[in-house]
Amino acid sequence: MSAPYKTDDNSVVVVIGTGAGGGTLANELAQKGISVVALEAGGRHLPDDYINDEWPSFGQLAWLDARTTSGDWRVSRDFSGLPAWIVKAVGGSTVHWAGASLRFQEHEFRVRTEYGDLPGANLLDWPITLEEMEPWYDKAEYKMGTTRTNGIPGLPGNNNFKVMKAGADKLGYKDCHTGRMSINSQPRDGRGACQQAGFCFQGCKFGAKWSTAYTEIPAGEATGKLEVREHAHVLTIEHDNNGKVSGVVYADKDGNQHRQAARAVCVAGNSIESPRLLLNSASSMFPDGLANSSGQVGRNYMRHMTGSVYAIFEQPVSMWRGTTMAGIITDESRNDPSRGFVGGYEMETLSLGLPFMAAFLNPGAWGREFSSAMDGYENMAGMWLVGEDMPQESNAITLHPDTKDQFGLPVPNVNFSDHPNDIAMRNHAYQQGQAVYDAAGAIRTMPTPPYPSTHNMGTNRMSAKARDGVVNKHGQAHDISNLFVSDGSQFTTGASENPTLTIVSLAIRQADYIASQMTAGKL
Amino acid sequence: MSEYLDPRGLSRRELLKRGTALGATFIVGAGFLAHANDAWAVESKALSPETMAAIIQVARDTYPHDKLADKYYAIAVKGHDDKAAEDAAHKTLMEDGVATLNSMAVATGASSYLAMGWEIDRVALLKQIEDSPFFQAIRGGLVVSLYNQKEVWPIFGYEGESFSKGGYLERGFDDITWL
């Protein structure tokens, strides 16, 4: 039996989504000889298609289906229909990710123990440790060609990095470098080296950045075991009378519905769509949605404590030239409650083109304070601040009571409010980010509010006990043994690092587990 | 600016002859608005030329860039005339918004919004209406219609796409010398 598969073939594993989690899992399963149907809501765009132009690229790649927002986060006011900036295409958000590939720290897998009982925070230790994850991190870094691992040299620093480095050195920060990036610093794995084009967020036209769109997916398809169906938007997951999932219903490009039978279903639609799908799949046997006996599906939505600092200098920086995330300061990522908050944050260079700078520097602002900052665009340097945010039960993806999508299903509402710890951390990060640029000679610094979420995590979290979360340490639903969660929604907590490397590592690990369960006759 | 020139095919010189001065900056006539000194004109299909002139000034006062000529603001707000031609409610929103601004200007002793000499005085009026649908329609639209004009990018130093030139690896990605 090999791809393509029939819709009534119940021997296939159905993977929903083809991003960092789903794309990796689909390939890993196919490499083991397992039959896989990957259903991707978006179309297939490859490097030749990517557009070096922010708004047209956004129109090409972004997930723009209707969503609503609530809570006190500013995104809900400024971008009320766009809680997250993620991708709807084969490759998912690995098409537009910046490439930062950092391992979580040891304590970040056991934050309930490390941080204690923080009021308002629904903290929980992961059911796995860094030690257990290390071999999978090794495999992921090798697969992705992460710089500063496996003997792969770091990327050269661009102007934006040089400004950050100069400030970091003057401030006495010890750990500032061009990062661990899954962007080729030299040709590798059939892909060329980074040409410092900028536009990492718009899809790498040189293919130097790792993306499942042109690594995992074609590798899986080459085995003959993986079929990727594009424009296949999954609406619900179905189950049998024994409470096992049995298939999924999806809509094709023309809105026609199909049912694909399944031996197991792996959900990897990112942390808004994945819980929404489980909730929209409620049945008489599972009235609160699939895998939701804990009531935690959709809850504990995390988006990382974020913010940016842009600074204007007397002379040009031209920050848009070269790798978008060109360097990092990791000194503040430790847990040091003496700073007034638990957890830590990373400082990573970032640049936006002129069109997106206008949209994101200070949404809604006008007048000379704003326009004079835009006048300084050529002389601007920028960094993104990304830290661990606290899981809160009330920060949740829920089904909107009235608003329906193009298929007539309730749209997801994303409710988010900062925890006091998030606010304290952001204030510290703004202060330190501004200090870095002041030390490098900035004449003006601007603490810039969070953008729509790019790191979406935690809404189907892992837990040791079924009552505390949705899935076990393998991403397997506590309630339904042939249902898996394979994306960042399984994160118990968010750590301070960019999530993709951990999502990929978990997917490789999960593929091993699924294969072993099949061999043992349990799936 | 040819795409915005008068569709009747009149030359700018002929247009200017048919128009009358509006302040020091604009010449207005039936269905058009021309710049007094700069070589461009813009058609106004639905909105009065006087309204278009005021909206162009509102646009500049909202995102004032002294290095940008008026034509970039005229291009940026042209969509409101297009929309007004198809949507009577939008036409009313724009005409009434400008009328409100003009009456506020009169209350300060000026003859109109455009006639107010100082940006700070015009901005004080805009501040009073900044939550209005009129102002938010203009401001919100400008974020894309002004800053996403490829013609303004070089004025801000932004270089746009780089793929066709091979990226910046050999073109100055790390050329900073002043640090």
Name the band, by pLDDT with cuts 50, 70 and 90, for residue A272: very high
Confidence of residue A32 (pLDDT cuts 50, 70, 90): very high
Pairwise CA distance, residues A331 & A105, whole Å: 13
Q: How far is the C-alpha of A245 from the C-alpha of A267, rounded, in Å?
A: 12
Interface confidence (ipTM) of the complex: 0.95
One-letter amino acid for residue B127 of the chain: K
Quick check: bond before A4 cis, omega within 30?
Answer: yes
Which residue of A lies nearest to B161 if distances are taken between CA atoms? Answer: A52
CB contact under 8 A, B176 and A162: yes
Domain ranges of chain B: 48-165
List for chain B the helix, strand, coil content (%; round to 5).
50, 10, 40
Could you say which of A163, A196, A374 has the minimum Cβ distance to residue B179?
A163
Give the gap in angstroms from C-alpha B136 to the nearest C-alpha of chain A: 9
| Cα A358 from Cα A298, distance rounded (Å) | 33
pLDDT at B39: 76
The answer to whether B147 contacts A163, with C-beta atoms less than 8 Å apart, is no
A interface mutation test: which of B62, B138, B168 has the most A CBs within 10 A? B168
Judged against a pLDDT cut of 60, whether residue A444 lies above it is answered with yes
How many other CB atoms are found less than 10 A from the CB of residue A24?
A: 32
A→B contacts (Cβ < 8 Å), by residue, are 52-53, 55, 156-159, 162-163, 166, 194-199, 205-206, 313-318, 320-322, 353-355, 357-359, 364, 366-368, 370-371, 374-375, 377-378, 440-441
Contact between residue A196 and residue A159 where contact means Cβ atoms under 8 Å apart:
no
**Closest C-alpha among A497, A486, A493, A504 to residue A36:** A486
Does any CB of chain A come closer than 8 Å to the CB of residue B158? yes
**Of chain B residues 80-139, which have a CB less than 8 A from chain A?**
123, 130, 139
For residue A354, the chain B residues in CB contact (below 8 A) are: 147, 152-153, 156, 158
Chain-chain contact of B173 with A194 (C-beta, under 8 angstroms): no
Q: How far apart are CA B40 and CA B36, in angstroms?
A: 9
CA–CA distance, A129 with A126 (Å, rounded to integer):
7
Select the more confidently predicted residue: A523 or B8.
Answer: A523
C-alpha to C-alpha distance for B139 and B147, rounded to whole angstroms: 12
Task: Report pLDDT for B6.
Answer: 52
CA dist A59 to A50, A64, A85, A87, B88, Å?
Answer: 11, 8, 11, 10, 28
- Smallest CA–CA distance, residue B31 to chain A, in Å, is 30
What is the distance of C-alpha A434 from the center of its chain? 26
**Residues lower than pLDDT 50 in chain B:** 1-4
For the stretch A139-196, pLDDT in tens is 999 999 999 999 999 999 999 999 999 999 999 999 999 999 999 999 999 999 999 9
Query: Which residues in chain A touch residue B146, judged by CB atoms under 8 angstroms apart?
Result: 358
Within 8 A by CB and 6+ apart from A249, the residues are: A234, A235, A236, A238, A257, A258, A259
Q: Do B144 and A55 touch (CB under 8 A)?
A: yes
- What is the three-class DSSP state of B34? strand
Give dist(CA B121, CA B104) in Å, integer: 11
pLDDT of B1 = 40
The nearest CA of chain A is from the CA of B117 a distance in Å of 17
Contact A210, A144 (CB under 8 A): yes
| Nearest-CB residue to B65 (from A314, A357, A375) | A375
CB contact under 8 A, B158 and A197: no
Sheet of strand B26-29, all strands in order from the earlier edge strand to the far edge: B20-22, B26-29, B32-35, B41-43
CA B89 to chain centre: 21
Select the residue of A55, A321, A368 nearest B173 (Cβ to Cβ): A321
- State the pLDDT confidence band at A398, using cuts at 50, 70 and 90: very high
B62 touches chain A (CB under 8 A): yes
> Which residues of chain A are within 8 Å of residue B144 when distances are taken between CB atoms?
55, 355, 358-359
Contacts of B76 in chain A (CB under 8 A): none
Task: Give the whole-angstrom CA distance, residue A223 versus residue B21.
Answer: 73
Question: Residue A20: which H helix or E strand, with range?
Answer: helix A20-31
pLDDT band at A242 (very low <50, low <70, confident <90, very high): very high
**What is the average per-residue pLDDT within A394-422?**
98
What values do phi and psi take at A241, rounded to 5? Answer: -70, -15
Give the pLDDT score at B3: 43
Q: Which residues of A fall within a CB distance of 8 Å from B158? A: 320, 353-354, 377-378
Tell me what the mean pLDDT of segment A300-315 comes to: 98
Which strand ranges, in their side-by-side order, compose the sheet holding A233-239? A233-239, A245-251, A257-261
Q: What does the pLDDT read at residue B8?
A: 58
Alpha-helical (H) ranges within B22-118 are 49-62, 70-86, 88-107
Q: Do B156 and A378 lie within an 8 Å CB cutoff?
A: yes
Share the mean pLDDT of chain A. Answer: 98
- Answer whether A354 sits within 8 Å of B65, measured CB to CB: no
CB-based burial of residue A467 (10 Å sphere; 0-12 exposed, 13-18 middle, 19+ buried)? exposed
**Residue A243's CB: how many other CB atoms inside 10 A?**
15
